[in-house]
Amino acid sequence: AQKVTQAQTEISVVEKEDVTLDCVYETRDTTYYLFWYKQPPSGELVFLIRRNSFDEQNEISGRYSWNFQKSTSSFNFTITASQVVDSAVYFCALSRGNAGNMLTFGGGTRLMVKP
Amino acid sequence: GAGVSQTPSNKVTEKGKYVELRCDPISGHTALYWYRQSLGQGPEFLIYFQGTGAADDSGLPNDRFFAVRPEGSVSTLKIQRTERGDSAVYLCASSLTSFDEQFFGPGTRLTVL
C-alpha cells in the first residue's frame, strides 16, 4: 500500500520568508513518481512538478525548489522569498510506476503568507 | 488551450436522489480520472479511464457510484440514492497518455441535504 504524510497541516509565514513543506512517503515499489500540486482558494489543483524514483537530482524553478531524498523517503518543497500569492494548500502525491496509476495524496499543508 | 472543465460547479440535492456530474477533459487526452475531496483532506481516487474503458475502478466506494466515458472524451460520474456522506468536491483530471501528469478541473461541489 502507498501512503503520503504531510505532517504540517498549517504554516504561517511573513512575506519574503523562506518556507519548506515536508512530504514523507511509503511505497514498496522500486519505480514510482512523486508530485506536488497547489490548490489556491479558487479550488483548482495546479500541477507543479513530477519526479521519478530514479532521479534524485534536486530541481529549482524560479522561487520553487524540491529536495528528493530516497534514503529518508522524503520529497520536500521549498519556496524562497514567499509572496502573498503563494498562499494555498499544497499537496504532495505519489503514483506507482505503471501506466495510468492513480495518485495517492497526502493530507495537504495550508500555507498562509502574510504581508 | 482549454483546460479540464466540469459541470455543474455546484450541485445541491436531497438524500436519495440521483445525480450526474460531467467532465470534459483536455482535447486529445486519452486518460481520465475521477477523485473525491472531502473538506480538509486530500483528493481520493475513484476511477480511471483509458479511452472508453474503465481501467481501474477500485476507488469507487460502493455500487451506488458508476462512471462512463462512451466516446473516449466526456465522462459522467453517476451517483444513485445519494447519501449525506457523499457530500464532497468531485474532481476530474486528464492526462495526454496514461504515463503523463494529470491536470485537474475546478471540481463539482456536491451537497446532499
Question: Residue range A50-60: average pLDDT?
Answer: 87
Tell me which chain B residues have a C-beta less than 8 angstroms from the C-beta of A100. 31, 48, 50, 55-56, 98-99
Residue in B closest to A101 by C-alpha = B98
pLDDT digits (tens, 9 = 90+) for B7-41: 999 999 999 999 999 999 999 999 999 999 999 99
Contact A42/B97, CB-based, under 8 Å?
no
Quick one: what percent of chain B has pLDDT higher than 90? Answer: 88
CB of A115 closer than 8 Å to CB of A25: no
pLDDT-derived band at B3 (thresholds 50, 70, 90) equals: very high
pLDDT-derived band at B105 (thresholds 50, 70, 90) equals: very high
pLDDT-derived band at B65 (thresholds 50, 70, 90) equals: very high
Three cell numbers written together for A36: 506536488
What's the order of all strands across the beta sheet hosting B5-7?
B5-7, B19-24, B75-79, B65-68
Contacts of B42 (CB under 8 A, 6+ apart): A4, A91, A93, A105, A106, A107, A108
pLDDT digits (tens, 9 = 90+) for B47-57: 999 989 988 99
For the cut 90, the answer to whether the pLDDT of residue A4 exceeds it is yes
For the cut 70, the answer to whether the pLDDT of residue A100 exceeds it is no
What does the pLDDT read at residue B1? Answer: 58
Picking from A32, A41, A49, the residue whose alpha carbon sits closest to that of residue A94 is A32
Tell me which chain A residues have a C-beta less than 8 angstroms from the C-beta of B44. 105
Alpha-carbon distance values, A70 to A24, A51, A90 (Å): 10, 12, 21
What does the pLDDT read at residue B99? Answer: 84
For the cut 70, the answer to whether the pLDDT of residue B82 exceeds it is yes
